[in-house]
Chain A
Amino acid sequence: GAGVSQTPSNKVTEKGKYVELRCDPISGHTALYWYRQSLGQGPEFLIYFQGTGAADDSGLPNDRFFAVRPEGSVSTLKIQRTERGDSAVYLCASSLSAANTEAFFGQGTRLTVV
């Protein structure tokens, strides 16, 4: 596609529920990144993929968070047993490769846990 696409744009869920957030990167981009942006803060790194494998998952806050990219294109961020503190905007970005300097961001998914 023309840009990075994230769905849904907004998600409201109840505490304790499971959610999936989807990211469609720019076609041909091998590197894909997930960030979380809390209100009034800068984006914080969660995980990045080079191809199908997670090259760095050091930013995932705990084992409730998991991400996959099975075919090296679309990625899904999965959050189990959601907590109110998980409420944030989740941003996805992609670049031609990890070495390539420019990452393109999607518009984000705003997750609200009530």
Chain B
Amino acid sequence: AQSVTQLGSHVSVSEGALVLLRCNYSSSVPPYLFWYVQYPNQGLQLLLKYTTGATLVKGINGFEAEFKKSETSFHLTKPSAHMSDAAEYFCAVKDNQGGKLIFGQGTELSVKP
């Protein structure tokens, strides 16, 4: 069965610092991987996705993620945090037998001024 593990339920960085949110997945087939962001009282918004091709994926708001098959990882990064990045971030893998997404537990990002 496929699964997603996000290391760290809460990450705090200073404004301008590097953001690194960790995600590891388990899948027996080449995965489709996603990062979503959720602002308070809002739905999920797609940040970026990996399906095939280039392993470094660029998304919205300056975020990017790198698919590393050897490490079964898909960590999310941003070179310089902004106050508006404070939110909950979810990593997900698409089920290989259908369309559903399997989510990690989420990582809450706080940005200090």
Contacts and interface: CB of A to CB of B under 8 A. Distances in A.
Contact of B44 (A55, A100, A101, A105): A105
Contacts of A55: 98-99
Contact of B104 (A42, A97, A102, A107): A42
B94 interface: yes
A48 B100 contact: yes
B104 A108 contact: no
A72 B84 CA distance: 37
B100 A102 contact: no
A107 B40 CA distance: 10
A21 interface: no
Nearest to A91: B43
Nearest to A34: B100
Interface string B77-112: 000000000000010101100111111111000000
B101 A44 contact: no
Contact of A101 (B4, B51, B98, B103): B51
Interface size bracket, A side: 20 to 34
B49 A43 contact: no
A4 B42 CA distance: 12
Contacts of A33: 99-101
Contacts of B36: 105
A97 B94 CA distance: 13
Given A42-B104, A42-B106, A102 B99 contact: no
A14 interface: no
Given A41-B106, A42-B106, A43-B90, A103 B42 contact: no
Interface of B: 4, 9, 32, 36, 41-46, 49, 51, 90, 92, 94-95, 98-106
| CB-CB nearest 7 A-B residue pairs | A98-B99, A42-B103, A105-B43, A105-B44, A107-B43, A45-B100, A42-B106
